[in-house]
Every structure is written in structure tokens, then in C-alpha cells.
Amino acid sequence: MQPKTLSAPESSLAEFEGELERLTPALPRRINVDPEKVEQGLAKLVLTLVELLRRLLEKQALRRIEAGSLTPEEIERMGVTFLRLEEQMAALRAHFGLSEEDLNLSLGPLGDLM
Amino acid sequence: MTGIYLYGIVEFPPELSREIRGLGGSPVSLVPRADLAAVVSRSLLNPWPVDEAHLTLHETVVEEVMGDRPILPVRFNTFLRAKESVIALLDERAQAFRSALGRVEGKVEVGLRVLWEAPGKSEVSVDQETWDGNPGTEYLYRRLREERRRAGIRGVGERVIREVQALFHSLAVESWLQRLPTDRLLFTGAYLVERYRVAAFREGVAKAQQEFSYLRFLLTGPWPPYHFVNGAHDATEDTLGA
């Protein structure tokens, strides 16, 4: 294979490497069948989907705040719900040894979930 | 169980002009069908480890073949059960393969990645909302401020991307772009470039680096046209039913 670097700033190559590692897709292409890790793999899949829904609902709430269609009481009630949901998600992530970035999801041309 | 490992699709004839060794040291050969052929080698039907040595070997085979003629590269670890499956694939997708081969003939892919420093909080204007101290309200308004700040950064990023992209319009036939995939990466792009224009593209990047001194450019290639064969061989994924 021919060398592939056509042009690069010498000082920044390490920075590029760091960013490219972050681009690695979060979701595994196959569920890990290692008995030690299968639970974590499934938890990652399920929690990623839950996080996607949580973020979508939260965005919807923010749009409604911006549009001025919520009363202060409704904002407080929804905010407390989202706050608790976030705390629950953090606890579940910790339980399964997952970080916030582990639940990121590549949405193809739309970019990443988070 | 052994089967067929697929590297790419090419026009046929001619035969391969030299001996090429593929994954596992197996000889690479062509499975011809009418005016098309699949570039293959025998392999166990187990995925090869995704590491530098194996990925490099797959890439080397594709590039060896690409030296002689256009190729539609196939993703790493693509298997078919038997020669009959390869022929069925060539029959089913013949028109799409021919069309894609015409699209990439005489061209290569170059990759461009650009780093930037996203604007800091002070550079993106965000209205300071107030809340009444209730935790739920405080939480949602905090999220709203973050959303607005991110939208501001995206807006600045999109403007810079447009300005940089304008420099490469005339140098590439087609381009594929992923915008702001991480905080530091402004964009990662793939460009389909006429072979003889790769040097000109490289000069274009040098010019861009001068014009946008606050950005960092990484140009790689030439690559097989991985980003410009979309749809041509999607069917290979399901051949093993896995």
C-alpha cells in the first residue's frame, strides 16, 4: 500500500488521531457473545435508544418553551421529570460501566445523536 | 468452512496482470461474468481481525488491482459462500456495477480532514434566560442555553465550511462531507478527483492552509473510491444471511 499522507501539519497529527478515534461508531456491528460482556452490550443498545427518546422529548419541550406555549408550572413539572430521568440514566450507565459517550449513536448523514 | 472473500468488482477482460496474495496468503483471482468480474480469494468464512495488518492487506489488494483498471472497492470482511453466489451477485447487480464503474473510471478518492477551534462561549451570543430557582425550570433553561450555544457554533462552523469548500469545487468531480462530527473536527470530506488532478488538489490544500491559518488540514490518499460506489454492491452484505 502506498503512503497515504499527502499533506499534513506536523504539529497537529496527534490531534487528528485523537479526533478520529472519537469518530469510531459507538454501536457494535454485532452483539458481543462473550458471556462476560453480553449484558453490557445489550444494556448499551437499550440505553442508547432510551437516551435517543429522552433527547427527542427534551428538544420538543425546549421548542415549546421557546414558542411560549408552556406555563411556568408546566415548565417546572416537565423540567423535574427530565432532571430525574437524566439522574436515572446516569445511575444505569454507572451500573453497566458505560460512559455518556458510549451511548452516542451515529445517524449517518445527520451526524451523531449527541 | 471455506468460502469466498470479496475485494471488489472490476470490468472484464483482461485477466489480472500479476500474481497478488490476499488475506491468509491465498492467491487473488477473478470470477468473471459477462463484462464484469469479482476480485476474490478463498478464505475461511470467519471475519478477519480488524487490525492494521489485515486492513492494510485488504487495501493493498484493492490498490494493486486499481493500478490497472477502475475498481469498485468492497468493504473489509465481505464474504460469499461460493462461486455461484458471486456469479448471482454479478448478474443481479450488473447494471448498477457498470454504471458505478463508469462513474469512477480514471478517478481516485482523496480524504480531507479539517480541525478548528470552535468559538468560545464569549464569541457565541446567548440570551441569558432567568428562572425562578425551581430545579425543573432551572434544568430546562440550562439545557436551552446549551442548545442555543451549540446552534451558534454550528452556524459559525457551517459558514467556515462553505468558505473552505468553495476552494475545492473546481478540483473535484464529486464530494461527500460530514459536518462537525466532533467538537474539534470542522469537517471530514471525501473527494472524487481525476487521477491527474491529485497534485492540483494538494496545491489547493496548501493554498487553503495559507488562507485559513487558524485551521489545520490533513489530506490523505489517493484511495479507492470507497465513498462513491453507493448502492452498487449493498447486496453483498446479506449474502451470508449474517
Read off the pLDDT band of A42 (50, 70, 90): confident
Better pLDDT: B147 or A15: B147
Q: What is the DSSP letter of B133?
A: S
- Over chain B, what is the mean pLDDT? 89
Is pLDDT at B178 greater than 60 in this prediction? yes
Q: Do B222 and B113 sit in the same domain of this protein?
A: yes
Most A CBs within 10 A among B143, B179, B226, B238, hence the mutation to make, goes to B143
Is pLDDT at B207 greater than 90 in this prediction? yes
B233 part of a folded domain: no
A51 part of a folded domain: yes
Residues 49-108 of A with CB under 8 A from B: 58-59, 61-62, 65-66, 72, 75-83, 86
Better pLDDT: A71 or B240: A71
B17 part of a folded domain: yes
Domain boundary among B105, B138, B169: B105
In whole angstroms, give the CA distance from residue B175 to residue B167.
13
In whole angstroms, give the CA distance from residue B162 to residue B142.
31
Q: Which tens digit of pLDDT belongs to each residue from A43-94?
A: 888 888 898 899 899 999 999 999 999 999 999 999 999 999 999 999 999 9
Read off the pLDDT band of A104 (50, 70, 90): confident
A60 part of a folded domain: yes
In whole angstroms, give the CA distance from residue B40 to residue B69.
16
Better pLDDT: B69 or B132: B69
Q: Do B127 and B206 sit in the same domain of this protein?
A: yes
Q: Which tens digit of pLDDT belongs to each residue from B217-232?
A: 999 989 999 999 875 5
Is pLDDT at B84 greater than 70 in this prediction? yes
Q: Do B25 and B36 sit in the same domain of this protein?
A: yes
Is pLDDT at B238 greater than 50 in this prediction? no
Q: Do B101 and B122 sit in the same domain of this protein?
A: no
Q: Do B9 and B88 sit in the same domain of this protein?
A: yes
| pTM of the complete model | 0.77
Give residue A79's domain range. Answer: 36-110
Q: Are strands B107-115 and B71-73 parallel, antiparallel or unpaired?
A: unpaired
Domains in chain B, number? 2
Instruction: Give me the half-sphere count of Cα atoms (radius 13 Å) on the Cβ side of residue A99.
Output: 3
A3 part of a folded domain: no
CATH number at residue B169: 3.30.70
User: What percent of chain B has pLDDT above 90?
Assistant: 76
Q: Do B24 and B126 sit in the same domain of this protein?
A: no
- Report the range of poorest mean pLDDT among A41-45, B42-46, B100-104: A41-45
Query: Using a CB-CB distance cutoff of 8 angstroms, which residues of chain B are in contact with residue A76?
Result: 134, 136-137
Domains in chain A, number? 1
Determine the 3-state secondary structure of B69 from DSSP.
Answer: coil
A12 part of a folded domain: no
Cβ pair A12:B182 closer than 8 A: no
ipTM confidence: 0.72
Is pLDDT at B235 greater than 50 in this prediction? no
User: What is the arithmetic mean of pLDDT over B50-71?
Assistant: 93
The pLDDT of residue B181: 85
Most B CBs within 10 A among A16, A66, A107, hence the mutation to make, goes to A16
Query: Using a CB-CB distance cutoff of 8 angstroms, which residues of chain B are in contact with residue A58?
Result: 143
Domain boundary among B77, B105, B133: B105
Is pLDDT at B95 greater than 70 in this prediction? yes
Give residue B117's domain range. Answer: 108-226
Cβ pair B182:A59 closer than 8 A: no
In whole angstroms, give the CA distance from residue B174 to residue A33.
40
Cβ pair B178:A111 closer than 8 A: yes
The pLDDT of residue A109: 47
- Over chain A, what is the mean pLDDT? 79
A23 part of a folded domain: no
The pLDDT of residue B65: 95
Query: Using a CB-CB distance cutoff of 8 angstroms, which residues of chain A are in contact with residue B135?
Result: 79-80, 83
Q: Do B115 and B214 sit in the same domain of this protein?
A: yes
Q: Do B98 and B137 sit in the same domain of this protein?
A: no
Q: Do B122 and B200 sit in the same domain of this protein?
A: yes
Of B43, B9, B41, give the one whose Cα is nearest residue B27: B41
B236 part of a folded domain: no
Q: Do B72 and B113 sit in the same domain of this protein?
A: no
Q: Which of B137, B184, B205 sits opposite A15 (nearest CB)?
A: B184
Q: Are the C-beta atoms of residues B125 and B152 closer than 8 Å to each other?
A: yes
A83 part of a folded domain: yes
Chain A residue at shortest CA distance from B207: A7
A25 part of a folded domain: no
Q: Are strands B174-179 and B216-223 parallel, antiparallel or unpaired?
A: unpaired
Three cell numbers at B57?
A: 492487506
Q: Do B126 and B97 sit in the same domain of this protein?
A: no
The reply to whether A29 touches chain B by the CB within 8 Å rule is no
Chain A residue at shortest CA distance from B63: A1
